[in-house]
Amino acid sequence: MTKAWSPLTAETLAEVPATVGVFEVADASGVIGIDYAGGHSPFGLRGALQVWLDRGPGLSFRYERTNAYLSRFREVVQVFVNDTGEPPSNLADTENLPTGRIRQN
Amino acid sequence: MGFAFNDVQRALIHNVRSFVRNEIVPLELELDPDESELRPSVLDGLRVKTKQMGLYNLDAPEEFGGPGLDTVTRTLLAMEMSQHRAGLYSACYGAFGQPDMAQLYEATDEQKERYLHPVLRGEKSSFFALTEPAGGSDPARSIQTRAKQDGDDWIINGTKVFISGADSADFGLVFARTGDRESGREGITCFIVDADTPGFTVRRVIHTLRSGHYPTELVFEDVRVPGSAVLGEVGQGFAMASERLTKNRIPYAAGCIGVAMAAHRLAIEYAGIRSVFGQKLADHEGIQWMLVENEIDIRSAALVTLDAAERADSGEPFRTEVALAKIVATESSGRVVDRAIQIHGGYGVTKDLPLERWYRELRIRRIGEGTTETQKMIVSRDLLRGRYAGLMDR
Ligand SMILES: Cc1cc2nc3c(=O)[nH]c(=O)nc-3n(C[C@H](O)[C@H](O)[C@H](O)COP(=O)(O)OP(=O)(O)OC[C@H]3O[C@@H](n4cnc5c(N)ncnc54)[C@H](O)[C@@H]3O)c2cc1C
């Protein structure tokens, strides 16, 4: 993902569309969350990011609107794992972690 | 041609039906509507159950642990297995085993040990890499990936595109040109390539309208494989690929029909519940006709596909029958789902129901595993050359 980061606040979140898509969340240490807002997510990206805002201040985020949210999510996670050697912390205990072999060109 | 089910078929269909409806469908409630992967631990449990039922690895021959069913019976089961939300996916999330590995049954003992048996046990997964950026309909001519011999080894260079599942597979069957360009189909060889071989890269997932499915773009840069990685014989790869593609079109067609049956059932149920203009949908002739058209499409597709399966079992050539089945099943199931959406009105296009997903995914079925046009080309060639025995001339 190459978009600019925004601080995660109630104001910035209000601008986020209620559509499906993928997003990353970071704190001062770097990316800590990669996730998607799928067909079950009430209020799409906005609803999914609200969960992160509720955790407390100091986070930033970026997102992509995309109907191909599952394959894009998979791709973003796989590139992250290939770059850093481990999954983002929100996926550390996920049984369905989409580990794979995608490498950034 | 007569499709009265025998007792064994009836019992198997019944078992698969209750397994899908009681074990699979409830699990789908938790998934994202587009998702088609169950948690590995859940899948392990399902595999154990299908093994106990004797229905694991349905497509495998008996000597490899399969139940040894004929093609007609497997086609009936594929139609039944596909009657759930993610129905088009191979063998119900893999609970009934892996997709057909026909080529690996011909492998050397060492290759079987290393690749086939782990796949059959559900421990390894594979990809099938034929299509290239230069084209997929005519791979014999368009394959530009080259493999050059270097001592006992081969060195592979090239690019593949639209290769399903390669991002997470353990190995793949990779088709490369080993002869010169003029050698056409005789110049293509199949190699088994481990996914961790240096020089092999998955460049990206290709995003398509099919959700929960991951075709990829692959790069091979000086990928060195040993001579023992050749599957079959040098120069015989294309024949192997064609055989697999021909056979695979039967379950491919059956999966579409299963989905159409499920969509049709939803439409019938809804027509009996929803009222418009003071009458049930089912009481409006316009709706009744759509339901009848669905029934016609499903019946015709099922009969043509079962005919192809019966032909495959008879030992007679069945390429033309399979091509017809692929055309009829993929095209007609798309129409059935389209009508089911129409009957559901706005709800038909929501992700609350699987209809919109099936609509998108069935569109791809007219392209994957040989497009409608290439299937028509196969049928027309055989018709015009007098190779195809018409229905009344058998
Ligand atoms: C989701 C998905 C998954 C796939 N998975 C795999 C995979 O795992 N492995 C793999 O090897 N491939 C895979 N494919 C590739 C697939 O097999 C090809 O897309 C298909 O064979 C068509 O090739 P093409 O896309 O290059 O189209 P082309 O060959 O370029 O064809 C373009 C158009 O021309 C038409 N056409 C071709 N020949 C004729 C003719 N004689 N007369 C008239 N029209 C003609 C075609 O029907 C099509 O409409 C996948 C494709 C998709 C979309």
For residue A54, the model assigns a pLDDT of 96
Write out pLDDT tens, residues B28-80.
Answer: 988 999 998 899 899 999 999 999 999 999 888 898 888 889 999 999 999 99
Q: Is the CB of B135 under 6 A from ligand 1?
A: yes
For residue B8, the model assigns a pLDDT of 94
3-state secondary structure B252-285: HHHHHHHHHHHHHHHHHHHHCCCEECCEEHHHCH
Look up the pTM and report it: 0.94
> Which H helix or E strand runs over B324?
helix B319-344
Residues B148-169, mean pLDDT to the nearest whole number:
96
Cβ distance of B207 and A66 shorter than 8 Å: yes
Distance, CA of B312 to CA of B314 (rounded, Å): 6
Longest dimension (CA), chain A: 38
Q: Is the CB of B137 under 6 A from ligand 1?
A: yes
φ, ψ at B34 (rounded to 5°): -95, -5
From the centroid of its chain, how far is CA B41? 24
Three-state secondary structure call for residue B310: helix
Instruction: State both tokens at B95.
Output: 């609970």
Write out pLDDT tens, residues B216-240.
Answer: 999 999 999 999 999 999 999 999 8
Among A82, A73, A72, A103, CA closest to B200: A103
* Contacts A68 to B, Cβ<8 Å: 207-208, 211
Instruction: Say if CB A37 and CB A8 are below 8 A apart.
Output: no
Instruction: Say if CB B73 and CB B97 are below 8 A apart.
Output: no
Distance, CA of A13 to CA of A24 (rounded, Å): 13
For residue A11, pLDDT beyond 60: yes
Would residue B162 be called left, alpha or beta, if left means φ above 0 and alpha means ψ between -120 and 50 degrees? left
Closest ligand 1 atom, residue B127 Cα = 8
For residue B1, the model assigns a pLDDT of 59
Q: Is the CB of B54 under 6 A from ligand 1?
A: no
Cβ–Cβ contacts within 10 Å for residue B13, how many? 17
- A residues 45-84 lying closer than 8 A (beta carbon) to B: 66-72, 74-75, 78
Distance, CA of B82 to CA of B33 (rounded, Å): 16
How far apart are the CA of B136 and the centre of ligand 1, in A? 4
The count of CB pairs under 8 A between chains A and B is 68
How far apart are the CA of B390 and the centre of ligand 1, in A? 28
Q: Tell me what the pLDDT averaged over chain B comes to.
A: 93
Mutate to test the pocket of ligand 1, among B98, B100, B137 (most ligand atoms within 8 A of CB): B137
Catalytic residue among B132, B321, B361, B369: B369
The residue whose CA has the least distance to atom 24 of ligand 1 is B136
- The DSSP call for residue B181 is G
Residues B340-368, mean pLDDT to the nearest whole number:
96
Cβ–Cβ contacts within 10 Å for residue A104, how many? 11
For residue B393, the model assigns a pLDDT of 78
Residues B355-363, mean pLDDT to the nearest whole number:
96
Residues B112-136, mean pLDDT to the nearest whole number:
94
Write out pLDDT tens, residues A17-64.
Answer: 999 999 999 999 999 999 999 999 999 999 999 999 999 999 999 999
**Res. A105 pLDDT band, cuts 50 70 90:** low
* Alpha-helical segments (H) within A1-105: 10-14, 44-53, 69-84
Share of chain B above pLDDT 70, in %: 99
Q: Which of B34, B166, B201 faces A70 most closely, judged by CB atoms?
A: B34
Residue that the structure tokens 């990011």 belong to:
A49
For residue B48, the model assigns a pLDDT of 94
Q: Which amino acid is at B205?
A: V
Residue that the structure tokens 């569309």 belong to:
A17
Test mutation, A97, A101, A105, chain B, max B CBs within 10 A: A101
- Chain B contact for A101, CB < 8 A? yes
Cβ distance of A103 and B201 shorter than 8 Å: yes
What does the angle CA A84 – CA A86 – CA A88 come to, to the nearest 5 degrees?
95
For residue B103, the model assigns a pLDDT of 84
Write out pLDDT tens, residues B292-305.
Answer: 999 999 999 999 99
Residue in chain B closest to A98 (alpha carbons) equals: B168
**Res. B106 pLDDT band, cuts 50 70 90:** confident
* Contacts A67 to B, Cβ<8 Å: 209
Contacts 24+ apart (CB under 8 A), B335-342: B335/B293, B335/B294, B335/B297, B336/B260, B336/B263, B336/B264, B336/B294, B336/B297, B336/B298, B337/B259, B337/B260, B337/B263, B337/B362, B339/B267, B339/B290, B339/B291, B339/B293, B339/B294, B340/B263, B340/B264, B340/B266, B340/B267, B340/B294, B342/B290
The residues, ordered by sequence, that sit 6+ positions from B88 with a Cβ below 8 Å of its Cβ are: B82, B255, B256, B259, B358, B361, B362, B365
Cβ distance of B211 and A70 shorter than 8 Å: yes
State the distance between the two ends of chain B, measured CA to CA, in whole angstroms: 11
- Chain A contact for B387, CB < 8 A? no
Cβ distance of A74 and B33 shorter than 8 Å: no
Write out pLDDT tens, residues A62-95.
Answer: 999 999 999 999 999 999 998 899 999 999 988 8
Residues B166-191, mean pLDDT to the nearest whole number:
91
Cβ distance of B211 and A71 shorter than 8 Å: yes
B369 is catalytic: yes
Instruction: Say if CB B250 and CB B75 are below 8 A apart.
Output: yes
> Which H helix or E strand runs over B109?
helix B109-111
The residues, ordered by sequence, that sit 6+ positions from B386 with a Cβ below 8 Å of its Cβ are: none
